[in-house]
């Protein structure tokens, strides 16, 4: 799980059942700004190679040892000599082991064996080698073989501290990737210090009577990976201001004289022109000045991505401070590598995708999402669709970003539901649906707030989606209040509802599937004022009332706790609600209100199943009824509701009311269920019709019905239909 804010991204990883770690993301490579076009050059103080350039097998830098070195061979066309069962009609120079560790690309170590051999470096002091690179020889005078034919194909990289017991740190079989006459850099999972390292060759690129030839073997160690990088000027660095202290952690890509790009990370800043860097890949070949280099896009200086998403096995990030319209997709399957090219500057299909949105109105990328057609981006002014032609996979060579709608987006993470994306419009007051419309052959963005625009009077700040069981988008507003949007596009169900958590203020929310998979539960961090002190609790929405739910499971209180056990009358453990008025159920009977004192309350009777928490009223009101009139609509005319019949499911309790104009309020009537429920007879759930009952007499122009479950009766009340009889008076 990647966490994106305006600071450096964090990653939440699970290492065990109870071992979760929040760590700073260390990007492996990229993304990078364009190649430097100024005259500024960067000069390294070292190469990062653990083996200094050798001129002989001398003690100050260690020894180079081989199982055997090829002796000098002098052959001519008229007088060839035999070597490894082949005729040599040219001159072969003598080989020395240290030739594989010198700075001369014209020399190389060659074994005196066919296909096999080993070369070893004896360090003066042990060190940790965590990577190596193999450079095959360039020299070749034999027209029967190519220079790469002498390169190792199968080998082991070994280490030892006694020259007797060798640990295999790496093994390669049938290796062939010698692009630009070098292997890739082989990272090692090694944390042990060794004094002796060797490359043991078992087979070459081509079979036959030829010997291994290696012109250079480099090793990286944890001790030699850091060195200084000095800029010739500040031009081209941070708008010509030079390196900043906030550049620590920033990546730089350097192109060596061998044509290969290498990555370093700034670990310290000395001045505007000098920084200390850590080598992240293979060592440099030399310490000569570097003319081609690229600064990383992301840093504390330029900002970090603020939004992201996964799409086509890439991690997509966007919206850093200095480049608000920039987006980047990682290397395929490697979510923390964003290099746009390979080591030699070639753009591959799996290379990272980095681009910027072209628009007349520059605006920050606010969110990323996707559908089956491509990647979708919301900016402060427009919404974009990134796609490849003919439903191909997105790559750096075929991506196209096209503006689709111009509503503008707020900085709120959207939710994807099937093929639709719901996002918050720029002002924060409206939820819009972003979806492809076949008839229009394009994307449309209708409002989901059209019939409840008052809900957005307080701007939306955060939202998440619960698919089970009722398809609800839960939304936190800026004042900490909670609203929900029941959304079922296939059935054209779009319904808004507000939730007052007994005065609690929500600071964050998330939706997580429950272990039993019966519900995607809403979790919230809620701030409550308890006994005059602000407290923060993590609370979870209990399961919705369902077909298999029993009355004993009823939980219609906030911040509630349940007791199950032997019958008790004094309930303890309510310190989190100290001094608060609470309600609840005791063996399915309403109890309360109580005031919590010393973390406890006393029930009026003993009970073995007790739920206690903050009470709340559940209320709803219908739209104004339209039953017609003699001369047209009933709207604006005086009406009277004569009687009401209600249909309930698995319910008990509840009230139905009618607005009374004389009272200036809704007057409620408690529902009378069939049967008699008192201390003698158990409460039972009821499904069916209730009524008819006659509301309090009165005429008004409002003509609406209301129903509620009062906090004094925290029992299930599931009203599925209201059937009124209404008279409309024509004037």
Is the pLDDT reported for residue 457 higher than 90?
yes
pLDDT band at 663; cut points 50, 70, 90:
confident
Cα separation, 13 vs 10, whole angstroms: 10
Is the pLDDT reported for residue 678 higher than 70?
no
Q: Give the per-residue pLDDT at 609.
A: 95
For the chain, give the number of residues: 731
659 vs 320, higher pLDDT: 320
Cα separation, 219 vs 216, whole angstroms: 10
How many helices (DSSP H) and strands (DSSP E) are in the chain?
A: 0, 52
Given a contact cutoff of 8 angstroms between Cβ atoms, the answer to whether 525 and 534 are in contact is no
pLDDT per residue as tens digits for the range 609-662: 999 999 999 999 888 887 766 677 777 777 788 888 999 999 998 999 888 877
Given a contact cutoff of 8 angstroms between Cβ atoms, the answer to whether 331 and 338 are in contact is yes
pLDDT per residue as tens digits for the range 10-64: 999 999 989 999 999 989 998 999 999 999 999 999 999 999 888 887 656 688 8
Q: Which residues on neighbouring strands pair with residue 334, listed in sequence order?
A: 331
Q: Give the per-residue pLDDT at 60.
A: 60
pLDDT band at 675; cut points 50, 70, 90:
low
Measured CA angle at 728 (ends 722, 731), to 5 deg: 160
Q: Give the per-residue pLDDT at 665.
A: 83
Please report where in the chains the tokens 């990370």 appear, as a residue. 265
Query: Among 112-126, 131-145, 439-453, 665-679, which is the least confidently predicted range?
Result: 665-679
Q: Give the per-residue pLDDT at 490.
A: 83
pLDDT per residue as tens digits for the range 256-287: 888 899 999 999 999 999 999 999 989 998 99
Is the pLDDT reported for residue 679 higher than 60?
no
E strands along 342-471, which residues? 353-356, 365-371, 374-379, 383-387, 400-405, 415-417, 420-424, 431-437, 442-444, 460-466
Average pLDDT rounded to a whole number, residues 115-121: 95
Q: How do beta strands 226-231 and 42-44 pair?
A: antiparallel
Given a contact cutoff of 8 angstroms between Cβ atoms, the answer to whether 391 and 403 are in contact is no
Average pLDDT rounded to a whole number, residues 542-568: 92
Cα separation, 706 vs 714, whole angstroms: 18
Cα separation, 629 vs 637, whole angstroms: 9
User: In percent, how much of the chain has pLDDT > 90?
Assistant: 64
Cα separation, 337 vs 317, whole angstroms: 12
Q: Give the per-residue pLDDT at 677.
A: 53
Alpha-carbon distances of 356 from 225, 306, 350, 362, rounded to whole Å: 33, 15, 19, 10
pLDDT band at 442; cut points 50, 70, 90:
confident
Q: Compute the mean pLDDT over every residue in the chain, rounded to the nearest whole number.
A: 90
Is the pLDDT reported for residue 731 higher than 60?
no
Distance linking the first and last C-alpha atoms of the chain: 66
The 3-state secondary structure of 456-525 reads HHCCEEEEEEECCCCCEEEEEECCCCEEEEEEEHHHCEEEEEEECCCCCEEEEEEEEECCCCCCEEEEEE
Cα separation, 716 vs 478, whole angstroms: 31
Q: Give the per-residue pLDDT at 567.
A: 95
Q: Give the per-residue pLDDT at 135.
A: 95
Average pLDDT rounded to a whole number, residues 512-516: 88
452 vs 726, higher pLDDT: 452
Q: Give the per-residue pLDDT at 75.
A: 87
Q: Give the per-residue pLDDT at 344.
A: 85
Average pLDDT rounded to a whole number, residues 595-619: 95
Cis, bond preceding 31 (omega within 30 deg of 0): yes
Cα separation, 88 vs 79, whole angstroms: 9
pLDDT band at 446; cut points 50, 70, 90:
very high
Measured CA angle at 532 (ends 531, 533), to 5 deg: 95
Average pLDDT rounded to a whole number, residues 170-186: 93
Average pLDDT rounded to a whole number, residues 212-225: 90
């Amino acid at each position: 799980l990647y966490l994106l804010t305006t600071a450096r991204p964090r990653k939440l990883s699970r290492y065990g059942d109870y071992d979760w770690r929040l760590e700073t993301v260390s990007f492996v490579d990229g993304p990078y700004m364009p190649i430097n076009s100024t005259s500024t050059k960067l000069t390294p103080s070292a190469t990062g190679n653990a083996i200094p350039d050798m001129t002989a097998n001398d003690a100050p830098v260690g020894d180079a040892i081989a199982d055997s070195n090829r002796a000098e061979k002098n052959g001519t066309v008229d007088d060839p000599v035999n070597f490894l069962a082949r005729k040599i009609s040219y001159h072969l120079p003598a080989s020395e082991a240290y030739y594989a560790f010198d700075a001369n690309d014209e020399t190389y170590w060659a074994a005196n064996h066919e296909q096999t051999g080993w070369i070893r470096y004896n360090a003066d002091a042990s060190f940790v080698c965590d990577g190596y690179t193999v450079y095959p020889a360039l020299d070749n005078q034999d027209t029967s073989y190519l220079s790469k034919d002498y390169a190792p194909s199968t080998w082991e990289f070994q280490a030892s501290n006694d020259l007797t017991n060798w640990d295999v740190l790496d093994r390669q079989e049938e290796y062939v990737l010698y692009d630009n006459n070098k292997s890739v850099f082989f990272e090692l999972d090694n944390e042990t210090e060794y004094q002796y390292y060797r490359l043991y060759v078992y087979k070459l690129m081509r079979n036959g009577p030829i010997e291994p030839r290696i012109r250079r073997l480099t090793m990286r160690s944890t001790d030699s990976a850091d060195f200084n990088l000095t800029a010739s000027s500040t031009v081209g660095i941070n708008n010509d201001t030079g390196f900043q202290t906030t550049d620590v952690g920033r990546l730089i890509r350097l192109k060596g004289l061998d044509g290969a790009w290498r990555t370093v990370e700034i670990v310290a800043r000395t001045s505007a022109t000098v920084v200390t860097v850590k080598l992240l890949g293979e060592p440099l070949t030399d310490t000569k000045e570097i003319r081609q280099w690229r600064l990383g896009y992301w840093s504390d200086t330029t900002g970090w991505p603020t939004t992201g998403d996964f799409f086509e096995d890439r991690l997509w990030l966007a919206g850093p401070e200095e480049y608000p319209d920039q987006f980047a997709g990682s290397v395929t399957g490697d979510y923390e590598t964003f290099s746009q090219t390979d080591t030699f500057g070639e753009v591959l299909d799996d290379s990272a995708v980095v681009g910027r949105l072209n628009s007349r109105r520059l605006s920050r990328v606010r969110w990323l999402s996707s559908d089956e057609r491509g990647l979708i981006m919301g900016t402060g002014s427009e919404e974009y669709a990134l796609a490849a032609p003919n439903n191909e996979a997105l790559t750096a060579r075929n991506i196209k970003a096209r503006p689709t709608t111009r509503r503008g987006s707020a900085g709120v993470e959207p939710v994807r539901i099937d093929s639709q994306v719901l996002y918050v419009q720029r002002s924060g007051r409206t939820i819009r649906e972003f979806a492809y419309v076949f008839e229009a052959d394009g994307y449309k963005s209708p409002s989901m707030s059209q019939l409840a625009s008052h809900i957005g009077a307080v701007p939306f700040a955060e939202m998440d989606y619960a698919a089970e069981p009722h398809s609800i988008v839960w939304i936190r507003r800026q004042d900490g209040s909670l609203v929900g949007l029941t959304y079922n596009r296939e059935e054209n169900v779009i319904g808004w509802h507000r939730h007052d958590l007994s005065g609690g203020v929500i600071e964050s929310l998330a939706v997580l599937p429950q272990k039993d998979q019966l519900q995607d539960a809403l979790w919230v961090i809620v701030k409550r004022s308890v006994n005059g002190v602000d407290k923060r609790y993590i609370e979870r929405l209990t399961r919705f009332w369902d077909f298999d739910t029993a009355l004993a499971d009823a939980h219609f209180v906030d911040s509630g706790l349940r007791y199950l056990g032997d019958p008790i009358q004094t309930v303890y453990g309510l310190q989190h609600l100290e001094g608060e008025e609470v309600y609840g159920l005791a063996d399915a009977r309403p109890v309360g209100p109580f005031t919590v004192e010393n973390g406890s309350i006393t029930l009026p009777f003993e009970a073995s199943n007790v739920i206690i928490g903050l009470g709340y009223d559940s209320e709803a009101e219908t739209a104004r009824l339209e039953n017609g009139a003699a001369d047209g609509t009933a709207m604006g005319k005086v009406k009277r509701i004569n009687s009401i019949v209600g249909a309930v499911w698995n319910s008990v309790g509840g009230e139905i009311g009618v607005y009374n104009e004389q009272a200036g309020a809704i007057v409620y009537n408690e529902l009378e269920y069939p049967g008699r429920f008192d201390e003698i007879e158990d409460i039972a759930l009821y499904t069916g019709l209730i009524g008819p009952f006659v509301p309090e007499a009165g005429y008004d122009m409002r003509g609406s019905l209301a129903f509620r479950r009062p906090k004094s009766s925290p029992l299930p009340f599931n009203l599925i239909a209201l059937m009124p009889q209404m008279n409309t008076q024509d004037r």
